[in-house]
Amino acid sequence: VGVGNGTEALRLALAACGIGAGSEVITAANTFTATAEAIVQAGARPVFVDVDETYTLDVEQVASAITPLTRAIIPVHLYGQPADMDPLRELAERHGIALIEDAAQAHGARYSGRRVGGLGHMACFSFYPAKNMGAYGDGGAVVTNDGAWASRVRLLADHGRSGYYTHSEVGFNSRLDALQAAVLRVKLRHLDTWNEARRRVADLYKELLGASGLALPVSAPGREHVYHLYVVRCPVGSADERDRLRRDLEGAGVHTGLHYPLPLHLQPAYAFLGYGRGAFPRCEAWAGQLLSLPMYAELTRDQVSHVAEALLRALGELGF
């Protein structure tokens, strides 16, 4: 079901399966705010957990966080790496709760040979222009093989409309623009080719930076990473050192990003949840070390080599 954007996809998916006030929804503390924002907008309470070395949900911590109020788990396929979906699906089905994939960064990725988007009960995609498959503006989609949920998402996204001027409930205005759908229909044919090009760029980074002391991203066994972002973990002791490294790279003509510099449980918007510093040690420690290097399908070998050389030089000047 096409919708207005990825955030709306999450909000509509939650609403479609009846999640609202009094519900808890488990998700990762290191995701973009939209994941938790949609939970709050649905009237539910986000319950954060820490992540493992893949930067996706730590399954054991998810199991420990489930309570009688838990109504859904939202694993985030962060940076293009699928979360560990089989044990999460087993948990969800054992407890009778929904499993909703946040696949906004993982178009085309696979887990055990299966595409993300078909691993949970529902999945949500963003087609923001910077995504692996981006539109020319905002767009999103909810996918599911449950006909009743699909119909409910479609109804809610169109003002709760059940007939031309009949509105069976209060809904939203969140339709995928036809022009964006046309662009996406063409781009979809090229998605696997573009993702393969991203993997070649990732392989080249691994070749050039393997001895750098950086913690490079890995594609976990049975998972096919699509490298929406190429995020390395720097051997620095503080965010200030990481930021100095960024400035040195800027001086060499290399722009970098931070995804994400402050975990959600420490964001002012979620202070009402009552989490404090130290709640999720991996998310907190890594937030000051992560650095997103240039990554897109059209990067040339010379460009990747320039990034690697500049990074190695900057690390050397910092004493690493």
Q: What local confidence, expressed as pLDDT, does residue 114 receive?
A: 98
Residue closest to 152 by CA, chosen among 16, 2, 11, 1: 16
Integer CA distances (angstroms), 315 to 226, 234, 242, in order:
27, 9, 10
**Confidence at residue 95, expressed as pLDDT on a 0 to 100 scale:** 98
Residue 273, pLDDT score:
98
Cis-peptide, bond into residue 260, ω within 30° of zero: yes
pTM over 0.95: yes
What pLDDT, on the 0 to 100 scale, is given for residue 276? 97
Euclidean distance between CA atoms 5 and 68, whole angstroms? 31
Per-residue HEC secondary structure of the chain comes to CEECCHHHHHHHHHHHCCCCCCCEEEEECCCCHHHHHHHHHCCCEEEEECECCCCCECHHHHHHHCCCCEEEEECECHHHCCCCHHHHHHHHHHHCCEEEEECCCCCCCEECCEECCCCCCEEEEECCCCCCCCCCCCCEEEECCCHHHHHHHHHHHECCEEECCEECCCCCECCCCHHHHHHHHHHHCCHHHHHHHHHHHHHHHHHHHCCCCCECCCCCCCEECCCCCEEEECCCCCHHHHHHHHHHHHHCCCCCECCCCCCHHHCHHHHHHCCCCCCCHHHHHHHCCEEEECCCCCCCHHHHHHHHHHHHHHHHHCCC
Q: How far apart are CA 121 and CA 223, in angstroms?
A: 19
What is the structure's pLDDT at 4? 98
Residue 188 in contact with residue 72, Cβ under 8 Å? Answer: no
Q: How far apart are the first and last CA of the chain?
A: 49
pLDDT in tens, 67-117: 999 999 999 999 999 999 999 999 999 999 999 999 999 999 999 999 999
Kindly report the number of other CB atoms within 10 A of residue 22's CB atom: 10
pLDDT value at residue 144? 98
> Which of the residues in the chain have pLDDT under 50?
none
Structure tokens at 271: 């202070």
**Cα 219 to the chain's mean position, in Å?**
15
As a whole number of Å, the CA-based R_g of the chain is 20
Please, are residues 51 and 4 in contact by the beta-carbon 8 Å criterion?
no
Q: What is the pLDDT of residue 137?
A: 97
Kindly compute the dihedral angle of the four CA atoms of residues 58, 64, 67, 71, in this order, to the nearest 10 degrees: 20
